[in-house]
Amino acid sequence: MKLTILGTGDSPGTPVIGCHCRTCEHARKNGWERLRFSILLQNNGKSVLIDTSPDMRKQLLNVGVDRVDAVIWTHSHYDHFAGFGDFYRVQSGVNVLSSAEVLEDIGRFMYFMKYRERQVEVYEPIKIFGMELILIDVNHPPMRRSHGVVVNFRGKKIVITGDTNSEISQRSIDEMMNPDLLIVDAIAPEGYRLRKHMNAGDAFSLSKKLNARKTLFIHVGHFYQPNSKYPIARDFQSFHFHENLALDSFL
């Protein structure tokens, strides 16, 4: 199973249009950027997207994905669903999974598109293309519902927090415990007080609480200095998860 972080940016991305802060200028000068948030899971020749960012076209072309087999939407903010039309135009019968509330909220924007809605129960495992996925509730006011995703694959566990502040329910914390990889919302460094998101301090506290083996920050804004010391993911960073790493060494 391969996981690729297609975009590590917050909703405006980096550089931000019209912003000339040190980070945005550094990005322009050195030709780097942070695309909006989406994660690609690939297994058994199938591709599943967690969120469909407004940069979707560029992201799918970059990784060479010809067909999207399923989409999971975490919540109804623009930066998490608006790129759906980029591949909807070139393939039919796209399966889209989420809670009833998120499907309904995004459906109001997508009224002119046809896709297969698959309503799923939060906290109920979904078996999909050899992976087990579990949607959990996180906390992202004023959204009535926002989800994180737990991915279980042959003894490996990946937790993606989705957009959330630090007030996550105990039930969700229990579901998220002991991940091999934690991909965590950390939009700004410590010191930023945020209602909708976690800052770096909140993200580190969550990582410690969950006993995460490896932690990467995503949904990152231009508030971080370029080349900062934080464990910030890079656009198109990818990971392979194997059934038994020890076995690989015999081959």
Q: Which is nearer to Zn ion, 34 or 77 (CB)?
A: 77
Q: Which is nearer to Zn ion, 74 or 215 (CB)?
A: 74
Separation between Cα atoms, residue 150 and residue 187, nearest integer Å = 20
Q: Which is nearer to Zn ion, 108 or 114 (CB)?
A: 108
Alpha helices in 117-215 (DSSP H): 170-176, 200-210
Chain positions contacting Zn ion, by CB under 5 A: 16, 19, 21, 24, 77, 79, 163, 222
Query: Least CB distance from residue 166 to Zn ion, whole Å?
Result: 15
Separation between Cα atoms, residue 78 and residue 11, nearest integer Å = 8
Q: If you write DSSP's letter for every residue of 73-92 in order, what string do you get?
A: -----HHHHTTHHHHHTT-S
Query: Least CB distance from residue 46 to Zn ion, whole Å?
Result: 25
Query: Least CB distance from residue 249 to Zn ion, whole Å?
Result: 40
Angle at 144 between CA 71 and CA 180, to 5 degrees: 50
CA atoms within 13 A on the CB side of 87: 29
- Tokens 């992976």 appear where? 131
Query: Least CB distance from residue 68 to Zn ion, whole Å?
Result: 20
Query: Least CB distance from residue 110 to Zn ion, whole Å?
Result: 17
Q: Which is nearer to Zn ion, 157 or 222 (CB)?
A: 222
Residue 39's alpha-carbon distances to 170, 171, 228, in angstroms, are 25, 24, 23
Q: Which is nearer to Zn ion, 129 or 223 (CB)?
A: 223
Q: Copy the structure tokens of residue 43.
A: 């297994």
